[in-house]
Amino acid sequence: MACLIGVCGFTGAGKTTTLLAIHKKIASEHIYLGQAVHDEIARRGLINSPENQQFVRLELRENSLGALATMCLPAIRDCVESGQSALVDAIMNQEEFEVLRSNFAWPVFLLQVSTNFEIRVARLSSRADRSMSRAQVQNRDRLEIESLGIENVFNAATDVIANERSTADLDKEVDLFLGRNGLGEAR
Protein backbone atom coordinates (compact mmCIF):
# COMPACT_ATOMS: atom_id res chain seq x y z
CA MET A 1 0.00 0.00 0.00
CA ALA A 2 1.49 3.35 -1.06
CA CYS A 3 1.36 5.96 1.68
CA LEU A 4 3.18 8.92 3.14
CA ILE A 5 5.46 8.28 6.11
CA GLY A 6 6.83 11.45 7.63
CA VAL A 7 9.42 11.65 10.37
CA CYS A 8 9.92 14.27 13.03
CA GLY A 9 12.54 14.60 15.73
CA PHE A 10 15.24 16.90 16.96
CA THR A 11 18.40 17.25 14.89
CA GLY A 12 20.62 14.19 15.29
CA ALA A 13 17.78 11.91 16.41
CA GLY A 14 18.23 9.65 13.39
CA LYS A 15 15.33 10.70 11.18
CA THR A 16 17.19 10.00 7.92
CA THR A 17 18.68 6.76 9.26
CA THR A 18 15.18 5.60 10.22
CA LEU A 19 13.80 6.40 6.77
CA LEU A 20 16.70 4.58 5.11
CA ALA A 21 15.83 1.50 7.20
CA ILE A 22 12.19 1.79 6.06
CA HIS A 23 13.31 2.28 2.44
CA LYS A 24 15.12 -1.08 2.52
CA LYS A 25 11.85 -2.80 3.42
CA ILE A 26 9.17 -1.15 1.28
CA ALA A 27 8.96 0.40 -2.19
CA SER A 28 9.59 4.03 -1.43
CA GLU A 29 11.34 7.28 -2.21
CA HIS A 30 13.13 9.55 0.28
CA ILE A 31 12.03 13.21 0.13
CA TYR A 32 13.90 15.64 2.40
CA LEU A 33 11.94 18.82 3.19
CA GLY A 34 15.13 20.60 4.22
CA GLN A 35 16.68 20.14 0.77
CA ALA A 36 15.04 23.44 -0.20
CA VAL A 37 17.18 25.12 2.47
CA HIS A 38 20.41 23.58 1.14
CA ASP A 39 19.45 24.41 -2.45
CA GLU A 40 18.83 28.05 -1.50
CA ILE A 41 22.15 28.27 0.38
CA ALA A 42 23.96 26.97 -2.71
CA ARG A 43 22.01 29.31 -5.00
CA ARG A 44 23.14 32.28 -2.90
CA GLY A 45 26.74 31.08 -2.84
CA LEU A 46 26.77 30.87 0.96
CA ILE A 47 28.78 28.47 3.10
CA ASN A 48 26.56 25.59 4.23
CA SER A 49 26.99 26.31 7.95
CA PRO A 50 24.48 25.79 10.79
CA GLU A 51 24.12 29.57 11.06
CA ASN A 52 23.34 30.00 7.34
CA GLN A 53 20.99 27.01 7.43
CA GLN A 54 19.09 28.60 10.31
CA PHE A 55 18.90 31.99 8.59
CA VAL A 56 17.66 30.59 5.26
CA ARG A 57 15.28 28.12 6.96
CA LEU A 58 13.62 30.94 8.90
CA GLU A 59 13.49 33.16 5.82
CA LEU A 60 11.79 30.48 3.70
CA ARG A 61 9.24 29.94 6.47
CA GLU A 62 8.64 33.68 6.96
CA ASN A 63 5.23 33.71 5.26
CA SER A 64 4.18 30.17 6.18
CA LEU A 65 5.60 27.58 8.55
CA GLY A 66 4.36 24.98 6.07
CA ALA A 67 6.40 26.43 3.18
CA LEU A 68 8.94 23.61 2.92
CA ALA A 69 6.17 20.98 2.80
CA THR A 70 4.30 23.01 0.19
CA MET A 71 7.45 23.17 -1.95
CA CYS A 72 7.67 19.36 -1.87
CA LEU A 73 4.02 18.55 -2.67
CA PRO A 74 4.61 17.81 -6.40
CA ALA A 75 7.45 15.36 -5.66
CA ILE A 76 5.40 13.62 -2.96
CA ARG A 77 2.35 13.36 -5.21
CA ASP A 78 4.42 11.95 -8.10
CA CYS A 79 6.03 9.40 -5.79
CA VAL A 80 2.80 8.02 -4.32
CA GLU A 81 0.94 8.09 -7.64
CA SER A 82 3.75 5.92 -9.06
CA GLY A 83 2.90 3.29 -6.41
CA GLN A 84 5.76 4.00 -4.02
CA SER A 85 5.49 5.30 -0.48
CA ALA A 86 6.83 8.81 0.11
CA LEU A 87 9.29 8.93 3.00
CA VAL A 88 9.20 12.57 4.06
CA ASP A 89 12.21 13.59 6.08
CA ALA A 90 12.23 16.30 8.73
CA ILE A 91 8.69 17.47 9.43
CA MET A 92 9.55 20.15 11.95
CA ASN A 93 6.25 21.88 12.75
CA GLN A 94 2.52 21.25 12.89
CA GLU A 95 1.85 23.35 9.78
CA GLU A 96 4.11 21.15 7.65
CA PHE A 97 2.24 18.07 8.85
CA GLU A 98 -1.13 19.72 8.19
CA VAL A 99 -0.04 20.65 4.63
CA LEU A 100 0.84 17.01 3.99
CA ARG A 101 -2.21 15.52 5.71
CA SER A 102 -4.69 17.88 4.05
CA ASN A 103 -3.36 17.50 0.50
CA PHE A 104 -3.51 13.74 0.14
CA ALA A 105 -6.24 11.10 0.38
CA TRP A 106 -3.86 8.17 0.98
CA PRO A 107 -2.71 7.11 4.46
CA VAL A 108 -0.38 9.54 6.22
CA PHE A 109 1.78 8.39 9.13
CA LEU A 110 3.92 10.63 11.32
CA LEU A 111 6.77 8.86 13.09
CA GLN A 112 8.66 10.63 15.87
CA VAL A 113 12.27 9.51 16.22
CA SER A 114 13.32 10.10 19.82
CA THR A 115 16.93 10.20 21.06
CA ASN A 116 18.38 11.76 24.19
CA PHE A 117 20.42 14.96 23.97
CA GLU A 118 23.83 13.47 24.81
CA ILE A 119 23.56 10.82 22.09
CA ARG A 120 22.48 13.45 19.57
CA VAL A 121 25.44 15.71 20.48
CA ALA A 122 27.85 12.78 20.07
CA ARG A 123 26.39 11.90 16.67
CA LEU A 124 26.35 15.47 15.42
CA SER A 125 29.86 16.33 16.57
CA SER A 126 31.27 13.40 14.59
CA ARG A 127 29.12 13.89 11.47
CA ALA A 128 31.34 14.20 8.38
CA ASP A 129 29.18 16.86 6.77
CA ARG A 130 27.17 19.45 8.68
CA SER A 131 28.77 18.65 12.05
CA MET A 132 27.53 20.65 15.04
CA SER A 133 28.93 21.55 18.45
CA ARG A 134 27.03 21.10 21.72
CA ALA A 135 26.19 24.84 21.74
CA GLN A 136 24.92 24.66 18.14
CA VAL A 137 22.70 21.68 19.01
CA GLN A 138 21.32 23.54 22.04
CA ASN A 139 20.65 26.59 19.87
CA ARG A 140 18.96 24.47 17.18
CA ASP A 141 16.77 22.72 19.78
CA ARG A 142 15.75 26.07 21.27
CA LEU A 143 14.90 27.44 17.82
CA GLU A 144 12.84 24.35 16.95
CA ILE A 145 10.92 24.58 20.23
CA GLU A 146 10.38 28.35 20.34
CA SER A 147 10.03 29.26 16.65
CA LEU A 148 8.64 26.11 15.09
CA GLY A 149 6.70 24.54 17.95
CA ILE A 150 8.28 21.16 17.22
CA GLU A 151 6.72 19.74 20.38
CA ASN A 152 3.28 20.17 18.76
CA VAL A 153 4.27 17.97 15.84
CA PHE A 154 5.69 15.42 18.32
CA ASN A 155 2.27 15.33 19.97
CA ALA A 156 0.64 14.68 16.58
CA ALA A 157 2.91 11.69 15.86
CA THR A 158 1.07 8.45 15.13
CA ASP A 159 4.07 6.40 16.33
CA VAL A 160 7.32 6.90 18.27
CA ILE A 161 10.60 5.04 17.80
CA ALA A 162 13.42 5.36 20.33
CA ASN A 163 16.76 5.45 18.51
CA GLU A 164 19.33 5.20 21.27
CA ARG A 165 20.96 1.84 20.63
CA SER A 166 22.39 -0.05 17.68
CA THR A 167 21.37 -0.01 14.04
CA ALA A 168 20.07 -3.56 14.52
CA ASP A 169 17.81 -2.35 17.34
CA LEU A 170 16.54 0.49 15.15
CA ASP A 171 15.86 -2.02 12.39
CA LYS A 172 13.70 -4.07 14.80
CA GLU A 173 11.79 -0.92 15.80
CA VAL A 174 11.17 -0.16 12.12
CA ASP A 175 9.85 -3.69 11.55
CA LEU A 176 7.44 -3.25 14.47
CA PHE A 177 6.26 0.13 13.14
CA LEU A 178 5.65 -1.30 9.66
CA GLY A 179 3.84 -4.34 11.08
CA ARG A 180 1.61 -2.28 13.40
CA ASN A 181 0.50 -0.17 10.47
CA GLY A 182 0.01 -2.95 7.90
CA LEU A 183 2.97 -1.75 5.84
CA GLY A 184 5.15 -4.82 6.19
CA GLU A 185 5.67 -7.89 8.26
CA ALA A 186 7.01 -7.50 11.78
CA ARG A 187 9.92 -9.89 12.40
Q: What is the pLDDT of residues 90-142, one digit of tens each?
A: 999 999 999 999 999 999 999 999 999 999 999 999 987 778 999 999 999 99
How many helices (DSSP H) and strands (DSSP E) are in the chain?
A: 9, 5
Average pLDDT for 56-71? 92
Q: Point out the least confidently predicted range of 18-32, 112-126, 128-142, 166-180.
A: 128-142
Query: How many whole angstroms separate alpha carbon 75 and alpha carbon 28?
Result: 12
What is the largest distance, in Å, between two alpha-carbon atoms of the chain?
Answer: 47
The reply to whether CATH 3.40.50.300 applies to domain 4-180 is: yes
In percent, the amount of the chain with pLDDT more than 90 equals 88
Q: Can you give the pLDDT at residue 87?
A: 98
Q: Can you give the pLDDT at residue 163?
A: 97
